[in-house]
Amino acid sequence: MMPGGDQEPGSYYVGVDVGTGSVRAALVDQRGILLAFADQPIKRWEPQFNHHEQSSEDIWAACCVVTKKVVQGIDVNQIRGLGFDATCSLVVLDKQFRPLPVNHEGDSRRNIIMWLDHRAITQVHRINETKHSVLQCVGGVMSVEMQAPKLLWLKENLRETCWDKAGHFFDLPDFLSWKATGVTARSLCSLVCKWTYSAEKGWDDSFWKMIGLEDFVADNYRKIGVIGADVRGHGLACEGQPVTSRLAIICGTSSCHMGISKDPIFVPGVWGPYFSAMIPGFWLNEGGQSVTGKLIDHMVQGHAAFPELKAKAAARCQSVYAYLNSHLDLIKKAQPVGFLTVDLHVWPDFHGNRSPLADLTLKGMVTGLKLSQDLDDLAILYLATVQAIAFGTRLIIEAMEAAGHSISTLFLCGGLSKNPLFVQMHADITGMPVVLSQEVESVLVGAAILGACASGDFTSVQEAMARMSKVGKVVFPRLEDKRYYDKKYQVFLKLVEHQKEYAAIMKGD
Ligand SMILES: Nc1ncnc2c1ncn2[C@@H]1O[C@H](COP(=O)(O)OP(=O)(O)O)[C@@H](O)[C@H]1O
Ligand SMILES: O=C(CO)[C@H](O)[C@H](O)COP(=O)(O)O
């Protein structure tokens, strides 16, 4: 889609969103309307189980391709700002900013340890055993997906080929802003959320010394970077909006649950509180589920009826998910679609639990399997998986509320928010209305909002948010189905209880 001919020449912003599977870019105007969109897949390597790697050169090349596509035909002088968002993966460069291998093979194309990489399990156990006070700000337990355990892994496993040669360790969004500007300043968001930096107190030397990464302290954190901009003082959130009662959920390969508060709230198993990491002046708690979109893809693609599904969806020019949703509507008969899983239950932690249990040893579970392998069976397993993800969100919300949050409304964005079944199940299972933004690619509008703020065209993040993001659809929960979902939630909680019992039995003599 290109800018409409009847439009006044104005200011444009570019948003670039680097997800796990692809890079997307959008050209957005001052009203937050998306005028052009492009995407491009990015490479991923899984050289061994739990090792996930990418290439910063490949990602940057993809960013350039999609950006060039969306600005085609536009006078570059009208492009006022560019914003990035990206996964929290670790990029390693040498002192001359060249990629360094993060693998035993010495393949320097693969210089990124991805966020979902779980190679640093023993390192994170040791970090958690220190019980250092910085851990209070990551939910009490550090996740293997954060940067400190990954850095320690590099030091302990690739000392000569990587650690000793490293000049720069970037969080991926900060790598992208360095590539775009040549400035190595880091974002407060990245450093606070994934690197234990405190917006109020700075780095805690004692933590890095205690975990064995005293090198950073001696080096004055040069390889990790310093804060580029003081984001405090931008004022409060959108006028008249009770922002602290909203929970934003970014649902892609994983789901991230972003809740804010005026005072710090400590939620066991939920990352944060992080000051000013998302909205200036507010504390952020970030709950999460490590695999959601990836889990749905895994369950659907691994089923015996997947080839049949693929063929039938292609014949109708539909995505497999649109086909499955209409198939479920067909087989539900008179009952609500969610009731098809009365005897099929899933525990969704196929890649460990990020929140609120913060237990990376947890595994996935399915109960209620039959011998059938047909399309009905696949559709119902897909439904049960979507429901399990929504129950996981309910568990996170309950933990946040028990600690002091008061949440009434969910705001969903990301690839999974395009799936009406996923959205409805989140409303039904949490009992809360779900707001979707008018612009389907709202994550990209968010990145463009950052670019708009950087351009100085808006005085604050809040002003840009109010002007450029608009509510689209609101999906209300089917309250009449509440009793059914409450019962399924009881089963959901039993599943994890039983899984822990099984582990205890197997550990015993
Ligand atoms: N149109 C759609 N309908 C249903 N599911 C979708 C759709 N588009 C994307 N998804 C799901 O969203 C997930 C990817 O979301 P996305 O935000 O693109 O991910 P990421 O940011 O992690 O690259 C996929 O796992 C896929 O299952
Ligand atoms: O840890 C995270 C953010 O704190 C995300 O889960 C990670 O960055 C992946 O994002 P996505 O699922 O959109 O690819």
Query: In the listed set 213, 243, 273, which residue is the last one of a domain according to the structure?
Result: 243
- Picking from 288, 246, 244, the residue whose alpha carbon sits closest to that of residue 434 is 246
- Count the domains in the chain: 2
Q: What is the pLDDT of residue 229?
A: 23
* Residue whose tokens read 């808006």: 458
If one compares 466 and 183, the residue with the highest pLDDT of the two is: 183
pLDDT at 305 over 90: yes
| 490 and 366, same domain (yes or no) | yes
pLDDT grade for 461, boundaries at 50, 70 and 90? confident
Where are the alpha helices (H) located in 2-88, listed in sequence order?
Answer: 56-71
Q: Are residues 59 and 161 part of one domain?
A: yes
Q: What is the pLDDT of residues 80-108, one digit of tens each?
A: 999 999 999 999 999 999 999 999 999 99
Mean pLDDT of 164-177: 97
Residue 222: its pLDDT value, please? Answer: 82
Cα 377 to ligand 2 centre (Å): 30
- Expressed as residue numbers, the domain containing 359 is 293-393+480-507
ipTM score of the complex?
A: 0.97
270 touches 262 (CB < 8 A): no
Ligand 2 centroid – CA 145 distance (Å): 10
List the single range of 75-79, 121-125, 350-354, 465-469 with lowest mean pLDDT.
Answer: 465-469
Q: Is residue 364 part of a domain?
A: yes
Q: Which atom of ligand 2 is nearest to the CA of 254?
A: 12
Give the Å distance between the CA of 442 and the centre of ligand 1. Answer: 13
* Model confidence band, residue 228 (pLDDT cutoffs 50, 70, 90): very low
Mutation choice for ligand 2 from 52, 88, 145, 416, CB with most ligand atoms inside 8 A: 88
269 domain-assigned: no
Amino acid identity of residue 320, one-letter, is: V
Two tokens, residue 484: 């059914």
215 and 139 within one domain: yes
Which ligand has the shortest distance to the CA of 301? 1
For the sheet containing 434-437, what is the strand order? 271-275, 283-289, 255-261, 246-251, 409-413, 434-437, 471-475
SS3 at position 435: strand
385 in contact with ligand 1, CB cutoff 6 A: no
Of 10-24, 185-199, 487-501, the one with minimum mean pLDDT is 185-199
pLDDT at 473: 87
DSSP 290-358: S-SHHHHHHHHHTSTTHHHHHHHHHHTT--HHHHHHHHHHHHSTTS-GGGGGTT-EEE--BTBB-SSS-
Does residue 298 share a domain with residue 170? no
Q: State the average pLDDT for the chain.
A: 92
The answer to whether residue 445 is domain-embedded is no
Same domain, 235 and 322: no
Going by alpha carbons, the residue nearest to atom 1 of ligand 2 is 88
pLDDT digits (tens, 9 = 90+) for 403-418: 999 999 999 999 999 9
What tens digit of pLDDT does each residue of 246-300 get?
999 999 999 999 999 999 999 999 999 999 898 888 899 999 999 999 999 999 9
Q: Is residue 444 part of a domain?
A: no
Q: Is the same domain home to 230 and 310?
A: no
Q: Same domain for 362 and 487?
A: yes
Cα 460 from Cα 456, distance rounded (Å): 8
Question: In whole angstroms, what is the distance from residue 20 CA to residue 35 CA?
Answer: 24
Q: Residue 459 falls within a domain, yes or no? A: no
311 & 224 share domain: no
Based on the fold, state whether residues 304 and 233 are members of the same structural domain. Answer: no
Distance 261 CA to ligand 1 centre (A): 29
Looking at the structure, do residues 213 and 78 belong to the same domain, yes or no? yes
pLDDT digits (tens, 9 = 90+) for 40-79: 999 999 999 999 999 999 999 999 999 999 999 999 999 9
Proximal ligand: closest to the CA of 300? 1
Domain end, chosen from 243, 276, 304, is at 243
Structure tokens at 400: 């946040």
Tokens 């997906």 -> residue:
145
Q: How confident is the model at residue 467 (pLDDT cuts 50, 70, 90)?
A: confident
What pLDDT is recorded for position 466?
Answer: 80
> Is any atom of ligand 1 closer than 6 Å to the C-beta of 293?
yes
Instruction: For a ligand 1 pocket test, name from 249, 419, 422 the mutation site with the most ligand atoms within 8 angstroms of its C-beta.
Output: 419
The pair of structure tokens assigned to 424 is: 């409805």
- 320, part of any domain: yes
- Stated pTM of the model: 0.92
CATH assignment at residue 336: 1.20.58.2240
pLDDT class of 242 with cuts at 50, 70, 90:
low
Judge if 237 and 299 occupy the same domain.
no
> Quick check: is 196 in a domain?
yes
Q: Are residues 118 and 27 in the same domain?
A: yes
pLDDT at 225: 62
pLDDT at 5: 39
What's the pLDDT at 227? Answer: 28
* Residue at 355 is within a domain: yes
